[in-house]
Amino acid sequence: MLKSVHLFGCSSGFVSNLLKPNSIVGFSLNFISSKRLPTSSSCSSSRLSCASNASMFLAPRAGSFKAFCGSTCSEANQDGTSTSPLSMSESPPPSSSTVVHSAEKIRNVRFCQWCGGQTKHGIPDDEEKLRAICTVCGKITYQNPKMVVGCLIHHDDKILLCKRKIEPSYGLWTLPAGYMEIGESAVDGAIRETLEEANAEVEVTSPFAQLDIPLIGQTYIIFRGKLKKPHFSPGPESIECRLFSLDDIPFESLAFSSMLVTLKLYVEDVKAGRVSFHYGTINKRPGTGASDIHAYTLDYHLRL
């Protein structure tokens, strides 16, 4: 039912991304590019500057969420495993701070997705970030954030939450949410996720929040919605589904920082008598894991 992508590398080591079928396979595989270097047969030009990085492997199917793991902190799993760096022969970068910054962000790709050739990591001409560049065909692999969509269902002055039956954050509470799939809109994805996780048919009424988490390459879009029928039950990824009054929301037992921020903002709005749309950036504290849901700051918060 679900796919798992394991990434090895960056400053903290082993990280994992778990997602559903038919979606783009992880943060590191969301690529759209056919750009070539000036010399397509090799990446050994002195114009490239490279830094030591690690490798990426595809893993078999496994149970998962929906939250992706970054290099130093994550909404998903994390441990301290690391791998040997790639051997680089290119000249040193013009700015060491640029490469350090890029190396912290990059999720490494060892083989080219087009021709299967081995990649090396360097900064292409006219660019500033570290990229995975094929040593055979010269194409550059670009990595893009993942979109997570979900629903905040308000029914009888209560909020619908699901207790997770899968790792990461097994047994903790979350809004029904997950990765948006190819071929669907954000609204369609939020409705689908709610049906899958809570067996609930919902009508989306308005957007509520967009929350970016740059460190782990995720953007959350949460919609407000209402039940079409007053029926819900645990789906295959949920142990339990329950309606909570605003005063009884289990803030200390939530699965992810994104859920904590969303629910806190909603409770504040309801108590203030006006529900707004929110944009913000969740900056996770480097070195924290999935269980550290309070280790963040909410920056650039806009209430519209």
Please tell me whether residue 127 adopts helix, strand or coil conformation: coil
* Tens of pLDDT, residues 161-192: 999 999 999 999 999 999 999 999 999 999 99
pLDDT of residue 93: 37
* Tens of pLDDT, residues 111-154: 999 999 999 999 999 999 899 999 999 999 998 999 999 999 99
Q: Where in the chain is the domain with CATH 2.20.70.10?
A: 105-143
Q: Quick one: average pLDDT of 52-63?
A: 34
* Tens of pLDDT, residues 208-261: 999 999 988 999 999 999 999 999 999 999 999 999 999 999 999 999 999 999
pLDDT of residue 229: 94
pLDDT of residue 287: 84
How far are the Cα atoms of 23, 107, 192, 300 from residue 185, in angstroms, in the given order?
A: 13, 26, 10, 26
Which is the CATH superfamily of the domain at 146-303? Nucleoside Triphosphate Pyrophosphohydrolase (3.90.79.10)
Fill in the amino acid letter for 138. Answer: G
* Tens of pLDDT, residues 2-51: 333 333 333 333 333 333 333 333 333 333 344 444 443 333 333 333 33
Q: Higher-confidence residue: 108 or 267?
A: 267
pTM of the entire predicted model: 0.67
The share of the chain scoring above pLDDT 70, in percent, equals: 64
CA distance 80 to 74: 13
CATH code 2.20.70.10 for 105-143: yes
pLDDT of residue 107: 60
Other CB atoms within 10 A of residue 263 CB: 23
Cα dihedral 265, 266, 270, 271, rounded to 10, equals -40
Residue with tokens 């740059």: 214
Residue with tokens 């990595």: 143
Q: Where in the chain is the domain with CATH 3.90.79.10?
A: 146-303
Residue 104 β-bridge partners: none
